[in-house]
A = this chain, B = another copy of it.
């Protein structure tokens, strides 16, 4: 009898799992339910569509629904929403909009993703107020900018979305005000990165309002202002990007446990506590390689990788989903900012380490070679084991070098092992001592 692998959610985790399972076992029935119409799209590309650096929204789609159906032989059912999971009967209930029906499964993957958090602001439903949670919303923002030619934007939240959308709207000549409740933008990147990025954002004309709480938006039908504690500031468009929360309701109702972060708890194979039910992507936890503890870092590579591994596991070859290091990189106008692992001492102490850290600045190229950029590198390690715990890099070029640190974290390298890595040098590409090595040298000195 043919077995059936059912996938809930047609984005990174779900479609990776479906494609991999079908490739490994063409006999398997693979059914994907996606309540929307977009599948396998690059959410991370949406700010660049709004900016105008990407011409068509369709360009962000990696594989089209048609290609999944014809070339990959996946039974992709868009516009159909799974509204119930019954693990005892191994059946999901599907709502097509017109009717409901049941679909049985042998293995089930929950890849329901995450949703943009909607804070309790007044005026969230005004025209011109957006979150950026899906492709239709990206399209709506682009349309709004094109048709209403806003002069002033209020961006609420200084995370990835906020920083990227500041650049995107600024490219349209909009005066951008960025509001962040915390003392710094890009909180997960630590203060060394934040201070460099903040200076650059200001140079680019972004009005930064740090430690500033927004309470809501004003306007008749369309937004025309943003309410702060003491004043109202004009705004013709508003983007709210204050984080995402995992979509776990469907799973919770089916008896699937959530972990300490609130996302779905999974083991090293992406299995939940419920038999034959897996979870992956933005709705699920993953194990952090430095702490060994579950964490929730909803990013594209994690979703793709876990989906692919689960797709392999359900065809009979158990494959770990892999640990995460919380590696991330973001463009802020001309800067790249990157992080991996644990990047601040407070977080390190919470995780049980005795942290020691350094921040250094060094050129991305040989000092005499033209057009080098200043790179600021932070490196943090545990005093006793001397293991590298994480780090950050920010600068006009070279932020992708964070991958060297991420690899060191996966390998559990000590500071002196990292310091002795034979990294590439030639004047156009690096000083003799790559800035990462310089940071490791200085940190090694502090450990003695």
**Chain A residues packing against B (C-beta within 8 Å):** 12, 42, 44-45, 48, 53-54, 59-60, 62, 160, 289, 299-302, 304-305, 320, 322-331, 336, 338, 340, 366-370, 398-404, 406-413, 417-418, 420-430, 432-434, 436-437
Closest residue of B by beta carbon distance from A411: B411
Out of B160, B302, B426, which one reaches A422, CB within 8 Å?
B302
Closest residue of B by beta carbon distance from A289: B422
Say yes or no: B429 contacts A399, CB within 8 Å: yes
Knowing A366-B42, A369-B53 are in contact, say whether A326-B430 is a contact too (CB < 8 A). no
- Complex contacts, A420 vs chain B, CB 8 Å: 305, 320, 322-323, 410
- Complex contacts, A428 vs chain B, CB 8 Å: 48, 331, 336
Other contacts beyond A300-B425, A400-B400, A410-B413: 10, CB < 8 A:
A44-B426, A45-B427, A48-B427, A322-B422, A325-B422, A327-B422, A328-B426, A329-B424, A400-B424, A407-B411
Q: What's the number of copies of this chain in the assembled complex? A: 2
- Complex contacts, A369 vs chain B, CB 8 Å: 45, 48, 53-54
- Complex contacts, A412 vs chain B, CB 8 Å: 411
Say yes or no: A424 contacts B340, CB within 8 Å: yes
Complex Cα–Cα for A173 and B403 (A): 39
- Complex contacts, A160 vs chain B, CB 8 Å: 426
Out of B60, B324, B398, B421, which one reaches A407, CB within 8 Å?
B421
Closest residue of B by beta carbon distance from A308: B441
User: How near does chain B come to A224, taking the closest CB pair, in angstroms?
Assistant: 32
- Complex contacts, A324 vs chain B, CB 8 Å: 422
Say yes or no: A406 contacts B432, CB within 8 Å: no
- Complex contacts, A411 vs chain B, CB 8 Å: 407-408, 410-413, 417
- Complex contacts, A370 vs chain B, CB 8 Å: 53-54
Complex Cα–Cα for A288 and B87 (A): 54
- Complex contacts, A329 vs chain B, CB 8 Å: 424-426, 429-430
User: How near does chain B come to A15, taking the closest CB pair, in angstroms?
Assistant: 12
User: How near does chain B come to A142, taking the closest CB pair, in angstroms?
Assistant: 15
Complex Cα–Cα for A54 and B62 (A): 44
Complex Cα–Cα for A305 and B418 (A): 13
User: How near does chain B come to A288, taking the closest CB pair, in angstroms?
Assistant: 10
A-B contact pairs, 23 of them (CB 8 A): A12-B432, A42-B368, A44-B425, A53-B369, A54-B368, A299-B425, A301-B432, A301-B437, A323-B420, A324-B422, A327-B422, A329-B424, A329-B425, A400-B429, A403-B423, A406-B421, A406-B423, A407-B408, A410-B411, A410-B417, A410-B420, A411-B412, A411-B413
Say yes or no: A406 contacts B424, CB within 8 Å: yes
- Complex contacts, A327 vs chain B, CB 8 Å: 422-424
For A326, A410, A426, the residue with the greatest tally of chain B CB atoms inside 10 Å of its CB is A426
- Complex contacts, A368 vs chain B, CB 8 Å: 42, 45, 48, 54, 59-60
Closest A-B pairs by Cβ, 8 of them: A411-B411, A322-B420, A329-B424, A325-B422, A59-B368, A407-B407, A403-B404, A327-B422
Complex Cα–Cα for A326 and B424 (A): 9
Say yes or no: A422 contacts B54, CB within 8 Å: no
Complex Cα–Cα for A382 and B223 (A): 62
Knowing A407-B407, A411-B407, A430-B400 are in contact, say whether A425-B366 is a contact too (CB < 8 A). no
User: How near does chain B come to A39, taking the closest CB pair, in angstroms?
Assistant: 15
User: How near does chain B come to A241, taking the closest CB pair, in angstroms?
Assistant: 15
Complex Cα–Cα for A404 and B426 (A): 16
- Complex contacts, A421 vs chain B, CB 8 Å: 325, 403, 406-407, 410
User: How near does chain B come to A304, taking the closest CB pair, in angstroms?
Assistant: 5
- Complex contacts, A426 vs chain B, CB 8 Å: 44, 160, 328-331
Out of B53, B62, B400, B425, which one reaches A398, CB within 8 Å?
B400
